[in-house]
Structure 1
Amino acid sequence: MKPGEVEFVEGIWISTKARTWLDMARQLPLNDLVAMGDELIRIPRPELEGREGAYSTVEDLRGLVARHPNLQGVVRARQALDLMRVGSDSAPETFLRLAMLDAGLPEPELQVGLRPGDPRAPSADLGFRQRKVAVQYDGGHHLLEPQRLSDRRRDKAFEAAGWTVIIVDNSDQEDGFAAAIKKIKRAFRTSVAASTVASGFAEEH
């Protein structure tokens, strides 16, 4: 290993998180490697996680990969870097995003704020602002009653602003998010139809 690729933790020298990601490139499927990378570059919530900065950045990971051009798995690591995005808060969110891209959907925006620039506004995990389609991935903790109430307020705020809200959960992973993607495509068709009607109305008046 090269300098900067190991760290001293509780009396033991271990690989850094970034180097561990690169080493796992020889074993993990591409989507899993992307999910692992997304976690490294994710911006944390300090009040919940006790840290302020991301573990790494895409630029730093590209530099790491460039220093090991002959390492087994380096090609897959480069592929993963092209697919990684800041904003996925969990591996399922990454898998959903990748499934959407595989299905031919446009690249979604991540952590879509209902009102840009307002940190107090609710946000969607993934979404398409122009089409007003919000996609929420609700993991297991969303089943808890306080979180369910918060989620419902969040979704109502989007719906009141004219957005279509699509809820995706753990069960949707069983079919590779196929059913969820059908819902998203249906929402796209609805938004196009509504836009066409609105445009025609505006031209008449």
Structure 2
Amino acid sequence: MPRTPRRPADLAGTLFLGSAAVADGLLTPADLRSRAWQQVLHGIYADAAVPLTHRHRCLAVARFVMPPGGAVAGRSAAYLYGAELVTATDPVEVLVPRTSCVRMARVSTHVAHLDTAETHLLDGIPVTTPLRTCWDLAQWCADPVERVVWIDALAARGAVALPDLTAYARAGAGRRGWRRLLDAARLADAGAASPQESRLRVRLVLAGIPRPQTQVVITRDGRFVARTDLAWPEYRVAVEYDGVWHAESPGQIHADRRRLNDMIAAGWVVLHVTAKRLRDDFDGFVRELRTVLRAREGH
């Protein structure tokens, strides 16, 4: 019969250094390789009964890897503020002073000046402030659309106010990258409900379409009809992003079609775009939307 793995009570539910557990006599190297434990980062372990999240990796870095003056930053900081757009296996992004460096698998290290006023402790983890997090995201995301996706997510969760972010970007005028943040802040919208909706909205604006409003409530005779993803109320035109879930059940299809009929009855034109259309024929969709907006002028 296989040997039951050792599970010392002192280690249950915790993060710990494997070398320290071995040195203290709590475990042997063979014990660490058992199914009782899981490796979080190189040399850092956790109870296998704990479902591993990106936060566990951030906490492991903070406790055992982070040099003085460093902080969890970028996408990982955004995750800790509620923008859960990374997975448990994604690298932890950290920002460290120029005098330090972190070299470890699954840790992405950025080196730059970091003022102490731009970090604080969040549940025991040193993390860049939301404003500084947005600054770093604007610098580290090569795609201007993705910069806005992250900032949208932070704004939607109340972690950052867009007027404050614009002021923060302007206060950094002259620093390398300040215009990146300012442009992203101008395009951001706290009403974004999902990353794909953010991508759609920003790509439309960059393509020359007038900026839509988010989360527009449509009514008819004083009765609520729908809340739509993106809309131009002055034209009574709405765009809906269709995810896979829309086709998951007959009941959902019925509800979607009834909602669509109600929107049309209220005098609205509704265009739908799928992930495939967004990926393979975005220009075609832009032409359709532009034609509809022109046709609806004066309505």
- Short-chain TM bin: 0.7 to 0.9
CA deviations on 1:106-146 (whole Å, 9 max, x unpaired) are: 22121111129x79541111112222211111223333325
CA contact (8 A) 2:225 2:263 kept: no
Counterpart of 1:175 in structure 2 is 280
Provide the secondary structure at the position in 2 that maps to 1:124. Answer: strand
Mapped to 1, the partners of 2:191 and 2:132 lie a distance apart of: 21
Mapped to 1, the partners of 2:247 and 2:133 lie a distance apart of: 33
Mapped to 2, the partners of 1:91 and 1:171 lie a distance apart of: 15
CA deviations on 1:36-64 (whole Å, 9 max, x unpaired) are: 1111212x5xxxxxxxxx11101222343
Counterpart of 2:94 in structure 1 is none
TM-aligned CA distance change 1:72 to 1:141, over 3 Å: farther
Mapped to 2, the partners of 1:3 and 1:170 lie a distance apart of: 42
Q: Could you tell me which of 79, 90, 94 is aligned with 2:183?
A: 79
CA contact (8 A) 2:166 2:185 kept: yes
- Quote the offset at 1:66 in angstroms: 4.6
TM-aligned CA distance change 1:120 to 1:164, over 3 Å: closer
CA contact (8 A) 1:123 1:154 kept: no
Counterpart of 2:244 in structure 1 is 140
Mapped to 2, the partners of 1:119 and 1:93 lie a distance apart of: 26
CA contact (8 A) 2:138 2:180 kept: yes
Q: Could you tell me which of 153, 171, 191 is aligned with 2:258?
A: 153
Counterpart of 2:296 in structure 1 is 191
Counterpart of 2:56 in structure 1 is none
More helix by share: 1
Q: Could you tell me which of 163, 166, 172 is aligned with 1:62?
A: 166
Provide the secondary structure at the position in 2 that maps to 1:107. Answer: coil
The alignment's C-alpha RMSD in Å is 2.7
Provide the secondary structure at the position in 1 that maps to 2:271. Answer: strand
Q: Could you tell me which of 119, 124, 148 is aligned with 1:11?
A: 124
Q: TM-score, normalised by structure 1?
A: 0.75
Counterpart of 2:64 in structure 1 is none
CA contact (8 A) 1:18 1:40 kept: no
Counterpart of 1:35 in structure 2 is 149
* 1:6 partner amino acid: T
Mapped to 2, the partners of 1:169 and 1:177 lie a distance apart of: 10
Q: Say which structure, 1 or 2, has more relative contact order (CA 8 Å, 6+ apart).
A: 1
* Identical-residue share of aligned pairs (%): 28
Provide the secondary structure at the position in 1 that maps to 2:139. Answer: coil
- Quote the offset at 1:77 in angstroms: 0.6
Counterpart of 2:269 in structure 1 is 164
Mapped to 2, the partners of 1:119 and 1:90 lie a distance apart of: 26
* Stretches of structure 2 lacking an aligned partner (at least 5 in a row): 1-113
Which of the pair has more CA radius of gyration? 2
Provide the secondary structure at the position in 2 that maps to 1:123. Answer: strand
Q: Could you tell me which of 135, 148, 152 is aligned with 1:22?
A: 135
Between 14-23 and 125-134, the greater mean CA deviation after superposition: 14-23
Counterpart of 1:202 in structure 2 is none
* Stretches of structure 1 lacking an aligned partner (at least 5 in a row): 45-53, 196-205
TM-aligned CA distance change 1:12 to 1:189, over 3 Å: closer
- Quote the offset at 1:12 in angstroms: 2.0
Count of aligned pairs between the two proteins: 183
TM-aligned CA distance change 1:147 to 1:21, over 3 Å: farther
Q: Does 1:115 align with 2:219?
A: yes
Counterpart of 2:105 in structure 1 is none
Mapped to 2, the partners of 1:3 and 1:57 lie a distance apart of: 21
